[in-house]
Chains A and B, each alone.
Chain A
Amino acid sequence: MEARLNPYKLVPSVMQGMIDLEGRVAGAGLEHSLLELIKMRVSQINGCAFCLHMHAADARKSGETENRLYLLNAWRESSYYTDRERAALGWAEALTLISQTKAPDADYAALKAQFSDKEQVIVTLAITTINAWNRIAIGFRSQHPHD
């Protein structure tokens, strides 16, 4: 596998806009572990190896357990995740697969029960931003390091 192009070299100003947006997500006050779970789950659905490699490493470095990462594909069936995490993961799936799901009331009700209005907007931006990174990385075949 080889990268198709390097977007950072080609259009640094636009890519800086993406990095700035990611900075807003990171600085908005949500739990780091929750954000990593969202990024991992969305990257699983979209099939972004580059992003899975990055966020598995980040999550582990920040203290996430191996098993919570291994079972993430089947989070609905597992007792490893808190109600707040489950609400965020349900919303992440609903929005990532938006053309099929239409963001149903049941998922929104679960989100609303766990997150304030302000937090709902942050969770949503976290989901849309990792969706954007997935498309950039898959689209241009960004390659992860071999370790």
Chain B
Amino acid sequence: MQARLDMFKANPAIMQGMLDLSAKIGESGLEHSLLELVKMRASQINGCANCIAMHAADARKHGETEMRLYLLSAWWESSLYTDRERAALAWTDALTKVGETQAPDSVYAQLSAQFTQAEQVALTLAITVINSWNRFAVGFRVQHAV
């Protein structure tokens, strides 16, 4: 596998915009471990190897357990995730596949029960930003470190 182009070299100004937005999400006050789970889950759905490699390493460095990463593809069947994490993961699945799900009331009710409205906005932005990175990385075949 080879990259199709180096997006940071081809258009640094545009990519800086993505980095700026990502930085805002990082400062939103949501738990780092929660954000990493969300990033891993969206990247699983979208099939972004580069993003999975990056966020698996980040999550492990910050103390995430191996098992919680291995079971993330079946999070709804597992007791390893808190109710707050489950609500965030359900919202991640719903928004990542929005063309199919249309972000249903049942999932939104679960989200509302666990997150303040301001947190809901921050979480939603986190989901849309990793969805954007997934599309950049898969689209341009960005290669992960080996």
Contact = CB atoms under 8 A, between A and B. Distances in A.
A45 B119 CA distance: 27
Contacts, number: 142
Bin the interface of chain A by size.
Answer: 35 or more
Contact of B10 (A121, A131, A138): A121
Nearest to A101: B138
A24 B13 CA distance: 8
Bin the interface of chain B by size.
Answer: 35 or more
B21 A18 contact: yes
B5 interface: yes
A33 interface: no
Contacts of A57: none
Contacts of A7: 121, 124
A11 B116 CA distance: 11
Interface stretch (B32-40, B65-73, B127-135): B127-135
Interface of A: 4-5, 7, 10-11, 13-15, 17-18, 20-21, 24-25, 28, 45-47, 91, 94-99, 102-103, 108, 112, 117-118, 120-122, 124-125, 127-129, 131-132, 134-136, 138-141
